[in-house]
Amino acid sequence: MERRTIFAGWVLPVCLVAPQLLLTVFFFLWPAAQAMWFSLVRQDAFGIRTEFVGFENFADLFADPLYLDSALRTVVFCTAVAGLAMGTALLLAVFADREIRGRAIYRTLLIWPYAVAPAIAAVLWVLLLNPQIGVVAHALKSVGVLWDYKLNDTQAMIVVILASAWKQVSYNFIFFLAGLQSIPKTVIEAARMDGARGWRRFRTITIPLLAPTIFFLVVVNIVYAAFDTFATIQALTHGGPGKATETLMLKVYRDGLINLDLGSSSAQSVILMVAVVVLTGLQFRFIGRRNAE
Amino acid sequence: MATLELYDVRKSFGATAVLHGVNLALNDGEMLVIVGASGCGKSTLLRLIAGLEVPTAGRIVLDGRDVARLDPAERDIAMVFQNYALYPHMSVFDNMAYALKIRGLSRDDIARRVGGTAEMLGLGPLLDRKPRQLSGGQRQRVAMGRAIVREPKLFLFDEPLSNLDAKLRVTMRAEIKRLQRRMGVTSLYVTHDQVEAMTLGDRLLVMHQGVPVQLATPMEVFERPATTYVAGFIGAPAMNLLPGVLCQGGMAVDLGRGMVIPFADGKRDGVDGRKLTIGIRPEHIVLDPAGMMLQIDLIEPLGSETVLIGRMDDGELLSVKVPGRAPAGEAIRVSFPAAMLHVFDAETGLRLG
């Protein structure tokens, strides 16, 4: 159903669209254009001399082992966060989909973490995991695990993955629950009549019918893990120890705002922008094709 | 092929009792139709037998084994759903093969059995299609095929024709009957449509508010309805139900308006003045120049016959079905042949004699 409003003049429609347009221009188009320009130039640290260097910044990046390390680390991080967040959410959604007492409360509680600001969430995790005062850390030490994510690379990675995935579980949960509820009950019942039980029914009926939801969430989760976890990681580890948790997003920030290498930092953000465009395009194409069927 | 027996099967959802004790026995190869208005518990009964719901009490015995608390997978019962419930992501072939794969049949066996069933239902050319590429009638056929290919002990049909258009419904109805006869599988068929019920069933079970009211052959239900509910439910247009009182020492009924009709089949119990409900089917009322006056209110021509809805002198409505066209004039005179009366107790609604 299409609803259209025909405006008589142009003043009102412009006023209505202007706030959104202004936001887009000031907070996206302008910085994006600036980033693209900076990615093609080289500037000294004080911004006095500017030299056009073409794609040299990009070429430098792809030859830089530190950058490639960070890219690989990001891939590992994204995969782990997406996998953990989606797996946990699916499990919770399957349980919440059943007829259980008090499920309204249960579902509401599961959605709450989504409303917690990233930095606050990180503080919660710090309180749990801090090597000196953390409850979990204390428990781990009492069973003999040497726990200090501020010194141990692997432990640091585990901490940022856990904290980031936890934030995203709620979001995934909502979509999985909606997806599960949109599967016709009689289809599941038909499978029961056909003798399919438990895991087998889940694998051959539920998962294929959830496929569109799963694909959508894979893209959203990868984008989230790559771009939206900055605050969480920054608050927990600052990308450390060393560079153990420095994802591409943190590297952009560190190279640009701390090391003041604007050219390289801009080139990195342009690469990330292209990645988002590709992911989103893929998703739109896939969803468009499904709707056309 | 199997027998099915229900012993005092009850079901409540929370405090709401839906089935108040159903006893039933199906013979091997029989087609039993459960009919009733929506909310009478017929679908719940079917789901209990299928194993999709667990009964609150009672036993469900399939081929001598109590299955009431078994998972559907352990019952070997196939069901055809109202909305077909095909697996949308599977081809027609895979839809039909699904249950066989689960049972671990060999690839060759599966191909042979699905092929044979598809042949029988005329689905051969559609095996590679997905459900969304099929018409309503074709989906219905796939749903049937999915049940047939399993060669189950029992078929359950949950209003399988109600999503089809009128013409297709008639064709599929005949097809279901032929298939069921040919395969001889014990079947339970739930419907609210009395035409389906009359034409398909070897026997009918009429349900009302969670209680089975009458179990008999379709013609028996039509000719000797056990209660006023059954009388009004089976037959179209519905049977006329009129108040009357017993008179002449139980030998006749006084319908008021000077109509005293002696019973054709003998005396009814009770003292004179006992309140009765008298039923007479519209097609059994005859035009009679000496009969009661009826003002015509509405004429419904059906082609080969005509339904007249008339008003009696006290304003109550009476429907009359006459062959051919409607008689001329704004009023007719009718009488009730004594042999065609159905006599019920006015309090309990139960048939008397």
Cβ distance of B50 and A197 shorter than 8 Å? no
Q: Is the ipTM of this complex over 0.90?
A: no
| pLDDT band (50, 70, 90) for residue B309 | very high
Write out chain A residues lying below 8 Å of B150, CB-based: 194
The CB density around residue A59, as the number of other CB atoms within 10 Å, is 12
Percent of chain B exceeding pLDDT 70 equals 100
Cβ distance of B85 and A192 shorter than 8 Å? no
Percent of chain A exceeding pLDDT 70 equals 95
| pLDDT band (50, 70, 90) for residue A120 | confident
The confidence score (pLDDT) of residue B1 equals: 60
User: Is B7 an interface residue toward A (CB < 8 Å)?
Assistant: no
pLDDT at residue A146 above 70?
yes
Mean of the per-residue pLDDT values for chain B? 90
CATH entry 1.10.3720.10 includes domain A65-292: yes
The confidence score (pLDDT) of residue A126 equals: 82
Calculate how close chain A gets to B256, using CA atoms only, in Å: 53
Sequential DSSP letters for A219-285: HHHHHIIIII-HHHHHHHTTT-STTTT--HHHHHHIIIIIS--HHHHHHHHHHHHHHHHHHHHHHHH
> For the domain B236-345, what is the CATH superfamily, name and number?
Nucleic acid-binding proteins (2.40.50.140)
The confidence score (pLDDT) of residue B342 equals: 93
Calculate how close chain A gets to B191, using CA atoms only, in Å: 17
- Report the alpha-carbon distance of residue A158 to residue A149 in Å, rounded: 8
B20 near B211, Cβ under 8 Å? yes
The confidence score (pLDDT) of residue B213 equals: 92
With H, G, I as helix, E, B as strand and everything else as coil, classify residue A52. strand
The confidence score (pLDDT) of residue B246 equals: 92
Write out chain B residues lying below 8 Å of A202, CB-based: none
CA nearest to A189 within chain B: B52
**pLDDT tens digits for A185-202?**
899 999 999 988 888 899
The confidence score (pLDDT) of residue A116 equals: 80
Calculate how close chain B gets to A198, using CA atoms only, in Å: 11
The confidence score (pLDDT) of residue B224 equals: 94
User: Tokens standing for B328?
Assistant: 């001329």
Write out chain B residues lying below 8 Å of A212, CB-based: none
Percent of chain A exceeding pLDDT 90 equals 16
| pLDDT band (50, 70, 90) for residue B171 | confident
Name the residue facing A189 among B52, B78, B150 (closest C-beta). B52
| pLDDT band (50, 70, 90) for residue B249 | confident
Calculate how close chain B gets to A209, using CA atoms only, in Å: 7
Name the residue facing A186 among B81, B102, B150 (closest C-beta). B81
Mean of the per-residue pLDDT values for chain A? 83
Sequential DSSP letters for B17-83: EEEEEEEEEE-TT-EEEEE--TTSSHHHHHHHHHTSS--SEEEEEETTEE-TTS-GGGT-EEEE-TT
Query: Residue range B154-174: average pLDDT?
Result: 88
**Rg of chain B, C-alpha, whole Å:** 24
Query: Residue range A132-147: average pLDDT?
Result: 80
Query: Residue range A70-98: average pLDDT?
Result: 90
The confidence score (pLDDT) of residue B79 equals: 92
Strand runs labelled E in chain B: 4-13, 16-26, 31-35, 57-62, 65-66, 77-80, 154-158, 186-191, 203-208, 211-216, 240-247, 252-254, 260-262, 275-280, 286-301, 305-311, 317-323, 331-335, 342-345
Q: What angle do CA B45, B49, B54 make, to 5 degrees?
A: 85
A→B interface, C-beta within 8 Å: 184, 186-187, 189-197, 200, 204-205, 208-209, 211, 293
The confidence score (pLDDT) of residue A293 equals: 47
- In angstroms, what CA-CA distances link A119 with A116, A124, A231? 8, 9, 6
Write out chain A residues lying below 8 Å of B88, CB-based: 187, 209
Query: Residue range B71-99: average pLDDT?
Result: 91
Whether this prediction's pTM lies above 0.90 is answered by no
The confidence score (pLDDT) of residue B235 equals: 86
Q: Any idea which of A21-25, A84-88, A92-96, B56-60 has the lowest mean pLDDT? A: A92-96
Cβ distance of B79 and A190 shorter than 8 Å? yes
CA nearest to B87 within chain A: A187
User: Is B85 an interface residue toward A (CB < 8 Å)?
Assistant: yes
pLDDT: is B279 or A40 the higher one?
B279
- Report the alpha-carbon distance of residue B350 to residue B226 in Å, rounded: 6
pLDDT: is A286 or B17 the higher one?
B17
Query: Residue range A159-178: average pLDDT?
Result: 88
The confidence score (pLDDT) of residue B15 equals: 86
**pLDDT tens digits for A216-254?**
899 889 888 888 888 888 887 877 787 778 887 887 888
Considering the segment(s) B4-232 as one domain, its CATH architecture is 3-Layer(aba) Sandwich (3.40)
Percent of chain B exceeding pLDDT 90 equals 44
The confidence score (pLDDT) of residue B242 equals: 92
Domain layout of chain B by residue ranges: 4-232, 236-345
Calculate how close chain A gets to B151, using CA atoms only, in Å: 12
Strands A50-52 and A41-43: antiparallel
The confidence score (pLDDT) of residue A45 equals: 65
Domain layout of chain A by residue ranges: 65-292
B123 near B131, Cβ under 8 Å? no
pLDDT at residue B121 above 90?
no
Name the residue facing B71 among A186, A197, A211 (closest C-beta). A197
